[in-house]
Amino acid sequence: MLSTMIALMEAAREKGYALGAFNVYNLEGVRAVVAAAQEERSPAILQIHPSAFRHGGIPLVALCLAAAREACVPMAVHLDHSTSSDDIRAALAAGLASVMADGSHLSYADNVAFTCEMVALTHEHGGTVEAELGRLAGQEDGLAVEEYEAKLTDPDQATDFVARTGTDALAVCIGNIHGRYSSEPRLDFDRLCAIRKAVSVPIVLHGASGLPERMVSRAVELGVCKLNVNTELREAYLGALKDHLADSRDLIGLMRGATEAMQVVVCAKLQLFGSTGKA
Protein backbone atom coordinates (compact mmCIF):
# COMPACT_ATOMS: atom_id res chain seq x y z
CA MET A 1 0.00 0.00 0.00
CA LEU A 2 1.32 3.40 -0.95
CA SER A 3 1.85 5.55 2.15
CA THR A 4 3.16 9.04 2.78
CA MET A 5 6.70 9.45 3.97
CA ILE A 6 5.69 11.60 6.93
CA ALA A 7 3.15 9.02 8.14
CA LEU A 8 5.78 6.27 8.01
CA MET A 9 8.35 8.45 9.79
CA GLU A 10 5.98 9.47 12.56
CA ALA A 11 5.02 5.83 13.18
CA ALA A 12 8.69 4.85 13.28
CA ARG A 13 9.53 7.63 15.71
CA GLU A 14 6.59 6.83 17.95
CA LYS A 15 7.38 3.10 18.11
CA GLY A 16 11.16 3.38 18.28
CA TYR A 17 12.36 1.81 15.04
CA ALA A 18 13.89 3.11 11.82
CA LEU A 19 12.63 2.88 8.27
CA GLY A 20 14.85 1.31 5.67
CA ALA A 21 15.19 3.47 2.54
CA PHE A 22 16.66 1.40 -0.29
CA ASN A 23 17.93 2.85 -3.55
CA VAL A 24 16.45 1.07 -6.57
CA TYR A 25 17.37 1.34 -10.23
CA ASN A 26 15.27 -1.26 -12.03
CA LEU A 27 12.60 -3.94 -11.70
CA GLU A 28 14.95 -6.33 -9.90
CA GLY A 29 15.71 -3.81 -7.17
CA VAL A 30 12.07 -2.86 -6.73
CA ARG A 31 10.99 -6.49 -6.49
CA ALA A 32 13.75 -7.22 -3.97
CA VAL A 33 12.69 -4.41 -1.63
CA VAL A 34 8.97 -5.17 -1.86
CA ALA A 35 9.45 -8.90 -1.41
CA ALA A 36 11.72 -8.39 1.61
CA ALA A 37 9.32 -5.90 3.21
CA GLN A 38 6.42 -8.29 2.75
CA GLU A 39 8.45 -11.23 4.07
CA GLU A 40 9.44 -9.23 7.16
CA ARG A 41 6.00 -7.59 7.53
CA SER A 42 7.78 -4.26 7.57
CA PRO A 43 7.20 -0.80 6.13
CA ALA A 44 9.91 0.29 3.70
CA ILE A 45 10.91 3.04 1.26
CA LEU A 46 11.69 2.70 -2.43
CA GLN A 47 14.28 5.40 -3.01
CA ILE A 48 15.30 6.82 -6.41
CA HIS A 49 18.68 8.48 -6.76
CA PRO A 50 18.79 11.50 -9.13
CA SER A 51 21.06 9.60 -11.53
CA ALA A 52 18.52 6.77 -11.62
CA PHE A 53 15.70 9.27 -12.09
CA ARG A 54 17.44 10.90 -15.01
CA HIS A 55 18.12 7.48 -16.54
CA GLY A 56 14.76 5.80 -15.88
CA GLY A 57 12.53 8.87 -15.87
CA ILE A 58 8.77 8.63 -15.54
CA PRO A 59 8.67 4.86 -16.24
CA LEU A 60 10.91 4.19 -13.22
CA VAL A 61 8.75 6.40 -11.02
CA ALA A 62 5.62 4.66 -12.31
CA LEU A 63 7.17 1.25 -11.59
CA CYS A 64 7.97 2.23 -8.00
CA LEU A 65 4.55 3.77 -7.38
CA ALA A 66 2.73 0.76 -8.83
CA ALA A 67 4.81 -1.65 -6.76
CA ALA A 68 4.16 0.36 -3.60
CA ARG A 69 0.41 0.43 -4.25
CA GLU A 70 0.27 -3.32 -4.82
CA ALA A 71 2.40 -4.23 -1.79
CA CYS A 72 0.61 -5.62 1.24
CA VAL A 73 2.77 -3.51 3.59
CA PRO A 74 3.08 0.29 3.84
CA MET A 75 5.62 1.72 1.41
CA ALA A 76 6.67 5.19 0.32
CA VAL A 77 8.55 6.30 -2.78
CA HIS A 78 11.19 8.99 -2.38
CA LEU A 79 13.55 11.01 -4.59
CA ASP A 80 16.96 10.86 -2.94
CA HIS A 81 19.73 13.51 -2.82
CA SER A 82 18.46 15.95 -5.41
CA THR A 83 20.46 19.14 -5.81
CA SER A 84 18.38 20.28 -8.80
CA SER A 85 15.16 22.24 -8.58
CA ASP A 86 14.34 21.08 -12.12
CA ASP A 87 14.67 17.43 -11.11
CA ILE A 88 12.50 17.98 -8.06
CA ARG A 89 9.83 19.70 -10.15
CA ALA A 90 9.94 16.83 -12.65
CA ALA A 91 9.69 14.23 -9.89
CA LEU A 92 6.68 15.95 -8.33
CA ALA A 93 5.04 16.19 -11.77
CA ALA A 94 5.70 12.45 -12.24
CA GLY A 95 3.75 11.66 -9.09
CA LEU A 96 6.33 11.53 -6.30
CA ALA A 97 5.20 13.02 -3.01
CA SER A 98 8.49 12.83 -1.13
CA VAL A 99 11.80 14.41 -2.14
CA MET A 100 15.19 15.14 -0.68
CA ALA A 101 16.22 18.71 -1.41
CA ASP A 102 19.97 18.48 -0.88
CA GLY A 103 21.60 21.88 -0.51
CA SER A 104 24.38 20.59 1.75
CA HIS A 105 27.03 21.46 -0.84
CA LEU A 106 26.02 25.12 -0.66
CA SER A 107 26.84 27.81 1.86
CA TYR A 108 24.53 27.83 4.86
CA ALA A 109 22.57 30.82 3.57
CA ASP A 110 22.17 29.28 0.13
CA ASN A 111 21.19 25.91 1.61
CA VAL A 112 18.46 27.65 3.59
CA ALA A 113 17.24 29.52 0.50
CA PHE A 114 17.25 26.41 -1.72
CA THR A 115 15.49 24.30 0.91
CA CYS A 116 12.86 26.98 1.56
CA GLU A 117 12.06 27.15 -2.14
CA MET A 118 11.79 23.36 -2.48
CA VAL A 119 9.72 23.04 0.70
CA ALA A 120 7.23 25.62 -0.58
CA LEU A 121 7.04 23.89 -3.97
CA THR A 122 6.70 20.39 -2.53
CA HIS A 123 4.12 21.40 0.05
CA GLU A 124 2.04 22.94 -2.73
CA HIS A 125 1.93 19.42 -4.21
CA GLY A 126 0.98 17.92 -0.86
CA GLY A 127 4.40 16.31 -0.46
CA THR A 128 7.16 16.21 2.14
CA VAL A 129 10.81 17.26 2.08
CA GLU A 130 13.95 15.80 3.59
CA ALA A 131 16.82 18.29 3.74
CA GLU A 132 20.46 17.87 4.76
CA LEU A 133 22.61 19.95 7.08
CA GLY A 134 26.30 19.07 7.27
CA ARG A 135 28.29 17.39 4.53
CA LEU A 136 29.03 13.70 4.18
CA ALA A 137 32.34 12.38 2.88
CA GLY A 138 32.50 9.43 0.52
CA GLN A 139 31.19 8.65 -2.93
CA GLU A 140 27.90 7.36 -4.25
CA ASP A 141 26.68 7.46 -7.85
CA GLY A 142 28.87 10.40 -8.81
CA LEU A 143 28.37 12.33 -5.56
CA ALA A 144 31.94 12.65 -4.28
CA VAL A 145 33.09 14.78 -1.37
CA GLU A 146 36.68 14.86 -0.17
CA GLU A 147 37.30 14.19 3.51
CA TYR A 148 38.42 17.75 4.13
CA GLU A 149 35.06 19.05 2.89
CA ALA A 150 33.03 16.89 5.23
CA LYS A 151 31.29 18.92 7.93
CA LEU A 152 29.40 17.60 10.92
CA THR A 153 25.93 18.92 11.66
CA ASP A 154 25.87 21.67 14.27
CA PRO A 155 22.93 21.22 16.71
CA ASP A 156 22.37 24.95 17.20
CA GLN A 157 22.45 25.56 13.46
CA ALA A 158 20.02 22.65 13.02
CA THR A 159 17.48 24.45 15.20
CA ASP A 160 17.72 27.56 13.05
CA PHE A 161 17.71 25.59 9.80
CA VAL A 162 14.54 23.64 10.59
CA ALA A 163 12.74 26.76 11.85
CA ARG A 164 13.66 28.82 8.78
CA THR A 165 13.06 26.19 6.10
CA GLY A 166 10.07 24.24 7.41
CA THR A 167 11.64 20.97 6.25
CA ASP A 168 9.74 17.84 7.25
CA ALA A 169 12.83 15.72 8.02
CA LEU A 170 16.53 16.38 8.54
CA ALA A 171 19.45 14.28 7.30
CA VAL A 172 22.46 14.79 9.55
CA CYS A 173 26.18 14.15 9.45
CA ILE A 174 27.68 12.69 12.63
CA GLY A 175 30.65 10.96 10.99
CA ASN A 176 28.66 8.76 8.60
CA ILE A 177 29.77 8.59 4.95
CA HIS A 178 28.47 7.55 1.55
CA GLY A 179 29.78 4.26 0.24
CA ARG A 180 32.04 1.82 2.06
CA TYR A 181 33.97 2.82 5.18
CA SER A 182 37.72 2.51 4.61
CA SER A 183 38.38 2.34 8.36
CA GLU A 184 36.41 1.79 11.55
CA PRO A 185 33.46 4.22 11.52
CA ARG A 186 33.37 6.82 14.26
CA LEU A 187 29.93 8.24 14.89
CA ASP A 188 29.44 11.18 17.24
CA PHE A 189 26.47 9.97 19.26
CA ASP A 190 26.67 12.90 21.69
CA ARG A 191 26.16 15.17 18.70
CA LEU A 192 23.22 13.05 17.57
CA CYS A 193 21.62 13.37 21.02
CA ALA A 194 22.05 17.13 20.92
CA ILE A 195 20.52 17.36 17.43
CA ARG A 196 17.60 15.18 18.47
CA LYS A 197 16.89 17.53 21.38
CA ALA A 198 17.33 20.60 19.19
CA VAL A 199 14.81 19.77 16.47
CA SER A 200 11.30 18.34 16.40
CA VAL A 201 11.36 16.81 12.91
CA PRO A 202 12.36 13.19 12.16
CA ILE A 203 16.11 12.54 11.87
CA VAL A 204 17.64 10.68 8.90
CA LEU A 205 21.05 9.00 8.71
CA HIS A 206 22.64 8.34 5.33
CA GLY A 207 25.46 5.86 4.74
CA ALA A 208 24.07 2.83 6.59
CA SER A 209 25.93 0.39 4.32
CA GLY A 210 28.81 -1.13 6.25
CA LEU A 211 28.03 0.46 9.62
CA PRO A 212 28.56 -2.01 12.47
CA GLU A 213 25.29 -3.35 13.86
CA ARG A 214 25.95 -1.89 17.31
CA MET A 215 26.25 1.60 15.81
CA VAL A 216 23.06 1.23 13.79
CA SER A 217 21.18 0.01 16.86
CA ARG A 218 22.52 2.90 18.93
CA ALA A 219 21.52 5.44 16.29
CA VAL A 220 17.98 4.05 16.24
CA GLU A 221 17.85 4.11 20.05
CA LEU A 222 18.83 7.78 19.94
CA GLY A 223 16.03 8.71 17.57
CA VAL A 224 17.11 8.14 13.97
CA CYS A 225 13.95 7.01 12.17
CA LYS A 226 15.18 6.60 8.56
CA LEU A 227 18.37 4.90 7.37
CA ASN A 228 19.55 4.89 3.75
CA VAL A 229 21.07 1.80 2.10
CA ASN A 230 22.57 1.79 -1.38
CA THR A 231 26.11 0.42 -1.56
CA GLU A 232 25.35 -3.01 -0.11
CA LEU A 233 22.42 -3.47 -2.49
CA ARG A 234 24.50 -2.57 -5.52
CA GLU A 235 27.26 -4.92 -4.40
CA ALA A 236 24.76 -7.78 -3.99
CA TYR A 237 23.30 -7.07 -7.43
CA LEU A 238 26.66 -6.95 -9.20
CA GLY A 239 27.95 -9.99 -7.33
CA ALA A 240 24.93 -12.04 -8.33
CA LEU A 241 25.28 -11.01 -11.97
CA LYS A 242 28.94 -12.07 -12.02
CA ASP A 243 28.16 -15.43 -10.42
CA HIS A 244 25.28 -16.24 -12.77
CA LEU A 245 27.06 -15.07 -15.92
CA ALA A 246 29.83 -17.54 -15.21
CA ASP A 247 27.36 -20.46 -15.30
CA SER A 248 24.48 -19.52 -17.56
CA ARG A 249 23.11 -17.21 -20.22
CA ASP A 250 19.54 -17.59 -18.92
CA LEU A 251 18.43 -13.98 -18.62
CA ILE A 252 15.40 -14.65 -16.42
CA GLY A 253 17.49 -16.79 -14.10
CA LEU A 254 20.09 -14.08 -13.94
CA MET A 255 17.52 -11.44 -13.01
CA ARG A 256 15.94 -13.70 -10.39
CA GLY A 257 19.34 -14.37 -8.88
CA ALA A 258 20.06 -10.67 -8.62
CA THR A 259 16.68 -10.02 -7.00
CA GLU A 260 17.19 -12.80 -4.47
CA ALA A 261 20.65 -11.54 -3.55
CA MET A 262 19.35 -8.03 -2.91
CA GLN A 263 16.34 -9.37 -1.02
CA VAL A 264 18.65 -11.08 1.48
CA VAL A 265 20.37 -7.75 2.15
CA VAL A 266 17.09 -5.88 2.58
CA CYS A 267 15.67 -8.49 4.97
CA ALA A 268 18.78 -8.26 7.15
CA LYS A 269 18.59 -4.45 7.25
CA LEU A 270 14.91 -4.42 8.15
CA GLN A 271 15.61 -6.76 11.04
CA LEU A 272 18.53 -4.60 12.18
CA PHE A 273 16.50 -1.39 11.95
CA GLY A 274 13.79 -2.88 14.17
CA SER A 275 10.94 -2.49 11.66
CA THR A 276 10.19 -6.21 11.24
CA GLY A 277 6.60 -6.93 12.19
CA LYS A 278 5.68 -3.23 12.33
CA ALA A 279 3.62 -3.14 9.12
Catalytic residues: 80
Q: Residue 93 and residue 9: Cα distance in Å, rounded?
A: 23
Query: Where is 167: in which H helix or E strand?
Result: none
Residue 237: C-alpha distances to residues 83, 127, 256 (Å): 26, 31, 10
Q: Do residues 36 and 261 lie in contact, with contact meaning Cβ atoms separated by under 8 Å? A: no
Q: Residue 212 and residue 21: Cα distance in Å, rounded?
A: 18
Helical packing angle, 231-247 and 251-273, nearest 10°? 150
* First-last CA distance in the chain: 10
Burial class (CB in 10 A: 0-12, 13-18, 19+), 89: middle
Q: What length is written for the chain?
A: 279
